[in-house]
Chains A and B, each alone.
Chain A
Amino acid sequence: MNEILRFIADLTGGTYYKSFRYCFEGVEVPTVAYDDNRIITMSQDKIGETNKSLKTSKSVADLSEKIMKDGKPLFRFFLDGSRRTYKIDDIAYGDRIYPIIAGQIGVGCCERSEPDSFKPSVLGMQIVLTLPDCADKDSKKDPFFNSLAQKINNLEVLKKRGISFQKVLSYTDRVLKEGEKYEHKGIAKIQDEMVENEKSMVVQLVREKKLNLQSYLLKDGSLEYKKIKGAHYKELSAIKSNYQCVVGVSKTFNPELFKDKRKKNLARRIADLPLFHRTPAFRYTNERAPDVEFSIWYLRVREISKTVSPFDGVLKVEKILVTDEEQENGLESDEIDYISANLLNERHPTCYGLDGRWANHLYPVYLTEKYIKSNYLSEVQFLNLF
């Protein structure tokens, strides 16, 4: 027992405490500092689609019915990322005590070729560990933590079980502001790693030429990634083209953060959105990726009388503006209608009774999420590694 912790403490010059171990997802966790839509900057011309005359909302019910009868569904691939984080122990460096946070990260993509054929396409599972920056006494950063990961993986306790840590990450050890906790910083680091993995998976799908105008990828959650960097993303145009056939759909969003050009809050409009209607698309940029413009709109897929809150049954849909023309005039309104109608057709079956967010969940995304989670090591198994 404690072999890994003892090893880490020895190697980083810390003292470990054998604290109580637990999974963060099993206890109440404060919102992570990196939540979507934290800061939104509306573009000057705030309309995100070619039809500038659409003021209120538009029904896509007829189009959805037409597609259902005559066409094939637009979405073929479904991507989701998930992470499970664990407080493993506390470790003292100098006079301060920091938490050691471990995490399991799963990013997966499933393919639906036929209504009764839903199969996994790609899956990436990672086990990571986060330590405070001060664990790296010589400030070597990545090389230090990479070598630490390697050394940990050589431990017999892991080899015996066929388990290895893909990365050791580090979180900032800066003085905490009021209300902040080191735990949250560790979790945020793991969340970032998951987002990175999601991006890599989109790139992989594009490279394998799986995505095209007939086979879109529906990604769970927002597309607004943090500042894009790294070897794979040097060219902004390349990044954009990767997302030509990718639509992000968020189940939960904060409508308060979103205002139209008259600075009027959109929350009421979204709450009153009629069934099967979409809002006009808005255009915005995000401070995390200032060079990338998004088109964003809302779509009601469930009747308001059958849900508990007015925002249940409303999806936030995003797409990156890829071409120059799109950047100039916004996303083609017909495409927005087409995407919306296809999303509407994904509203059934539901995961009612299985997930409290059923009204906003889309079943293929739900299945993808389930698939990823089914590949996690169990909590008991994971916590007892340490």
Chain B
Amino acid sequence: MAKVIGKAAATEKIPTTIDEFFFWTDKEKILHPFDVVKAKHINDSVTFGVIEEISHITDAPSYLTSYISSDFGDVSHIANTQRIGLNFVKARVVGNTKNIYTPVLDGSEVSLGDEKEVQKALGLDDVKKPLACGYIEMYEAEDRVRLPVFLNSDFLLGPEGAHLNISGISGLAAKTSYCMFLIKAVQQRYLQKDIKPDQGIAFVLFNVKARDLLAIDEPNEDLDEEDKKLYDELLRLNDQPFENVTYFYPYDPGDYSNTYAYKQDVDYQIDVNKAFKYKYVYEHDKNSLELLFSNTYDPTDTMDSIINYIITEQDQFGDIRNWRDFMSEVDTYCQKQSGKDPTITPASWRKFKRILRKPLSNSVFAHGVDDKRNETRLRDHIADNIKKNDIYVIDIAKLDEDIQNFVFGDVVNTIYEMKLGQTGEREPEEVPQKIVIFVDELNKYASSEVPKSSPILKQIIDITERGRSLGIILFSAEQFKSAIHDRVKGNCSTHAYGRVNAIELSKGDYKYIPSVYKGMMTRLEQGKYIIQNPVLRSLLNIKFPNPVYKQFKHG
């Protein structure tokens, strides 16, 4: 037994139970929430607990006692004897070495664990299909323990459990960095020997913030030795930037008005054939028009009727080849008594036109695609080319929100259809077995306030509910988890919480989190996360090193 730091205490009012026990310790002993402790238990077994709360108590029954003890409020008073006091710690039971789950007995010795014991306590020992998810640190000074956290990848990427949701306030939570860290780990995991040739994985990432993900194949020059050591030695990952990356920028006529990336960077990437500009062409993409209406309230389904009218190529719509003609045609329906289909009123057509006018004026909605200039249609490119170990980064940061919705919805549809074998002529084995989709600001697409008829919301719910079996894994992030649709977050097996503000913590999503952990969540530093996964016996407070790819300090 290691150095004893205290003894379990079971009192009349606060008994120890199957779930938790309490112990006292010296008031100067430094412990932290999430630290693992072990208590001697019956039959020579050991019960492990994770610290949930630390309180300091004295024998003073009220503040008045303290006031009087300071010579009736004399702040300079110093006493010969300090009031008797101790720290009182609440620990949640996470396991017993002999599976004996009777309450820890009063007076049982409590001590800190060593590396192996901490691993065992948290269920981090003997992990099959290990996937690095960060590392944990606990205890102080000579007792300090630093451990990598490996999770069974089956519980993050399927088939046992799938989908990851990361929440945390903007900037301080480093949501994108953590997600990219996991993607790095997943990519490397799938390069290991035990992975069969047909078990490939590919990634489709959406860049939603400035140039965040537009240089992930370039090294982070600020990565220090400490971080490199963490990658190489502790987490068994290499510290190199991502490989097999392809960037997709929204098309523009040469003024780079649709991206935050610098012209020279985009040009260079196009020159070396690792970037494309994507376009939407009327002839092929009119079927996705409904995606532009995903945030439109349409209780009478009139917009839906119009879209149907167009998709089924009624009247003149079958003859149209470009967006300009399309808008002209819509114009004619907007005229009163035009003699067109009387079931849809001109007022509805005018609403339809009003919604479409702005997005369709963006150059990404173009007449045609020129392959020689590295222009492409995302749908075709993904369906025809994506292969295992590929990372596709789709830049939507500078697009208007309705076009972002359109692009996101179109890509997700494409992947879904591809996995169902409905697109292209590729052999099933050529398609990566799993595709991870990462999208930040999930609230734009799957907020609880998005109209129920939204095709994107339906698609996301479908992915979270059925994607696991199809091999489509959603890595999502948002500021406020409480704003996300229940069926979406409810289907995520892994949740990561970065720094969260107090208002958000008062919502129902955080009810199950102990109050001390909630307090910690409002103070979490950058690079620290609290994660929850079905294989973990308790929430874990993990850290991860700085990203391996180029960081743009000013966006």
Contact = CB atoms under 8 A, between A and B. Distances in A.
Given A118-B84, A306-B72, A367-B84, A349 B79 contact: yes
Interface string A315-347: 000000000000000000000000000000110
Contacts of B70: 348-349
Contacts of A363: 69, 79, 81, 83
B68 A116 contact: no
B79 A348 contact: yes
A46 to B, nearest CB: 32
Contacts, number: 61
Main secondary structure of the interface of A (DSSP, over half): loop
B61 interface: yes
Contacts of A348: 69-71, 77, 79
A118 B85 CA distance: 11
A380 interface: no
Interface core residue of A75, A348, A354 (most chain B CB under 10 Å) = A348
A115 B79 contact: yes
A350 B81 contact: no
A120 to B, nearest CB: 12
B78 A68 contact: yes
B535 to A, nearest CB: 44
Contacts of A349: 60, 65-66, 69-70, 79, 81-83
B65 A352 contact: yes
A354 B65 contact: yes
A361 to B, nearest CB: 12
A288 B5 CA distance: 49
A280 interface: no
A349 B65 CA distance: 8
Interface of B: 59-62, 64-66, 68-72, 77-84
Nearest to A303: B72
Interface core residue of B60, B62, B66, B68 (most chain A CB under 10 Å) = B68
A351 B83 CA distance: 9
Interface in A66-88: 68, 73, 75
Contacts of A303: 72
A343 to B, nearest CB: 10
Main secondary structure of the interface of B (DSSP, over half): loop
Contacts of A354: 59-61, 65
B69 A352 contact: yes
27 contacts: A68-B80, A112-B80, A115-B79, A115-B81, A115-B82, A118-B84, A303-B72, A345-B80, A348-B69, A349-B60, A349-B65, A349-B70, A349-B81, A350-B68, A350-B69, A352-B65, A352-B69, A353-B61, A353-B64, A353-B65, A354-B59, A354-B60, A363-B69, A363-B81, A363-B83, A364-B80, A367-B84
Nearest to A78: B81
A348 B83 CA distance: 9
B80 A115 contact: yes
Please give me the 9 A-B residue pairs with the lowest Cβ-Cβ distance, nearest first.
A349-B69, A353-B61, A116-B82, A348-B79, A352-B65, A349-B83, A73-B80, A352-B68, A353-B65
A353 B58 CA distance: 13
A112 B81 CA distance: 8
Contacts of A350: 65, 68-69
Contacts of A353: 60-62, 64-65
Interface string A104-144: 00000000100110100000000000000000000000000
Interface in A257-297: none
A347 to B, nearest CB: 8
A116 B62 CA distance: 21
B253 to A, nearest CB: 76
A73 B82 CA distance: 13
Contacts of A112: 80-81
A353 B60 CA distance: 7
